[in-house]
Chains A and B, each alone.
Chain A
Amino acid sequence: MTNTLPEQLTQLQETIQADAQFADQLEEQLRMHHANRQEVNNSEMVTIDAQFNRIASMVATLVIMILVLAMLPPVQTLAMNILNGLFNRADTNEMTVTRPQTDSASRESEDIPIEQLASVANFDLQFPNAIPSIYTLRDSGYFEDRNTVTLSYDAPGRGLIITQQPLASVDYGLLTDGGSGIGVDAPITPVMVGDFAGEYVIGAWIVEDQQINEDGTVTTQVIWNETVSMRTLRWIEGDVIFEIRAMGGSEGHRYIGLEEMIEIALSME
């Protein structure tokens, strides 16, 4: 059934999210402004206006980034991934990709309520017991083509996605990768998740330029960037590969980095 216009507008509104890095930086600026305001009230040594101007100049320097995980059609098989490591590497740190606008069918997941996931996925799922309290489960999904399950959590300005897939299914596509993998020079850190070997990568593909062509295709230029707020941990446990991906947040303030991701990983059962 077609949604009504009010429903469509509401759905559109729900898709709008402030940039994670912007949201975090503004929160920090507000905290700083709050502290400065109290300081000013107490000492009257600095004017509010001066602080305001300082913060305004910081805001002007914000770098706006768009992060995209999957840019290319699948090209590599997982047999290679398992042999060479848990991440595909692209041949370069910079790519230009042209795709049809409506070419997502092979990567679409079906939203499945979390309590029904176990019945659609034909492997033993694990669920985390140590998700930080600011996160709420946004949705859970199942990629039938590659027998992969995702749990997506949201918190203001940040996100967390846990993905799991039987190794027997990786030939149909690794986890939710679209084939782009990571940049050719992206550092991969070997880690241990309990007794299991894993790998940890910081970075993401950033859109440098994007245009819609006359024939309806979309051409996008992306560059691998290791400074963006995207952390990915992968490990293999038994015959299943797991991934935890954390986005947004800044270090020191409810930040999910490697240590916290391992804690979440160890809580899965």
Chain B
Amino acid sequence: MTETQSDDLLVEAALNDPDAFAILYRRYLQRVYSYLLSKVGNKQDAQNLTTQTFMAALDGIASYQPQGNFGAWLIGIARHKVADHFRKQRRIISIDDVPTLREMTMPLDEIVNQQLQLEAVIDLLNKINSDRAEAIQLRFFANLKMQEIALIMQKSEDAVKMLVSRGLDDLRQMLNLMEKTS
């Protein structure tokens, strides 16, 4: 198995080969983690849910139907984990930090600015329509295509495009308002 093989080939191999699953894991870790961090807003929960997501994916990998949308399938699992998470506990928004490799080479003030930026974006997403926020998180944090988002949200591609577009409009309006009041 190599880093360049397609997702579907790796999934097939991953049934018996831990190296193949490890490649998939490394390929999708950043997208899964970013999406989860944008949902829960704190690093500890994002890590726990990332762990749960990949564990569940490994356990359920035999049920994946190879159609070239492994990323969407994986994010779908992450989405279920987030829903379970919020059912179990009250939502707390507190970005404790934004990790880490870049931090190691980044001046401290840039790290702080980045934290504030992410915290602000999550705060704004919490204020807009939940479907629009979800579409934006799937598009920009999970880095999914419109077609994949449509599959996950069980909506048409046009409906998803509309959600993303209106969600961005909402964010722009709030950002403009913040600029005027600051």
- Which residues of A in the span 24-73 have a Cβ within 8 Å of any Cβ on B? 26-27, 29-31, 33-35, 37-38, 48, 52, 55-56, 59, 62, 64-71
Name the residue on A nearest B48 (C-beta): A59
Bound together, the chains give a CA A13 to CA B140 distance in angstroms of: 7
A104 and B107 form a contact (CB under 8 A): yes
- Which residues of A in the span 104-139 have a Cβ within 8 Å of any Cβ on B? 104, 107-108, 134
Q: Which residues of B contact A56 (CB under 8 A)?
A: 51
Contact partner of B55 (CB less than 8 A), chosen from A30, A157, A176, is A30
Q: Which residues of A contact B30 (CB under 8 A)?
A: 16-18, 156
A13 and B141 form a contact (CB under 8 A): yes
Q: Which residues of A contact B16 (CB under 8 A)?
A: 38
Asked if B6 is an interface residue, CB under 8 A from chain A, the answer is: no
- Which residues of A in the span 77-115 have a Cβ within 8 Å of any Cβ on B? 99-104, 107-108
B98 and A30 form a contact (CB under 8 A): no
Bound together, the chains give a CA A104 to CA B112 distance in angstroms of: 12
Asked if B150 is an interface residue, CB under 8 A from chain A, the answer is: no
Name the residue on B nearest A133 (C-beta): B3
A67 and B100 form a contact (CB under 8 A): yes
Contact partner of B18 (CB less than 8 A), chosen from A34, A155, A212, A247, is A34
Bound together, the chains give a CA A20 to CA B172 distance in angstroms of: 33
Name the residue on A nearest B46 (C-beta): A18
Expressed in whole angstroms, the minimum distance between the Cβ of A9 and any Cβ of chain B is 4
Q: Which residues of A contact B22 (CB under 8 A)?
A: 27, 30-31
Q: A134-B3, A152-B105 are in contact. Are A17 and B55 (CB under 8 A)?
A: no
- Which residues of B in the span 101-122 have a Cβ within 8 Å of any Cβ on A? 101-105, 107-114, 117-118, 121
Q: A30-B18, A55-B55 are in contact. Are A15 and B109 (CB under 8 A)?
A: no
Residue-by-residue, is B30-54 near A (CB-CB < 8 Å gives 1, otherwise 0)?
1001100100000110011011001
Asked if B25 is an interface residue, CB under 8 A from chain A, the answer is: yes
Known: A16-B33, A157-B26. 6 other contacts (CB 8 A): A26-B29, A30-B25, A30-B54, A33-B58, A68-B111, A99-B109
